[in-house]
Amino acid sequence: MEGTILTVINEAAKAARQAAQQGANLTKMMDEVVRCAKATIERTPELLPVLKEAGVVEAGGQGL
């Protein structure tokens, strides 16, 4: 379901793949993965109405 830890993992994996395809080293790739994961976590309340109603981000994604 959109807005869950699976969304965070999926978006982070896409960021890793894109960084690797652009020739990033491991450090730069992981920086991009973390940046993307944080941005996705911040968006989870917009993706899952129950999170927005509660005023929280997705806990599993945050823990990841």
Tell me the per-residue pLDDT of 32-57, one tens digit each, with 9 for 90 and over.
999 999 999 999 999 999 999 999 99
Helices (H), 1-64: 5-21, 26-47, 49-54, 59-63
pLDDT of 18 reads 98
pLDDT at 6: 95
pLDDT at residue 2, as a whole number: 87
At residue 50, the pLDDT reads 95
The pLDDT value given to residue 19: 97
Confidence of residue 1 (pLDDT cuts 50, 70, 90): confident
Q: Which two tokens stand for residue 7?
A: 């969304």
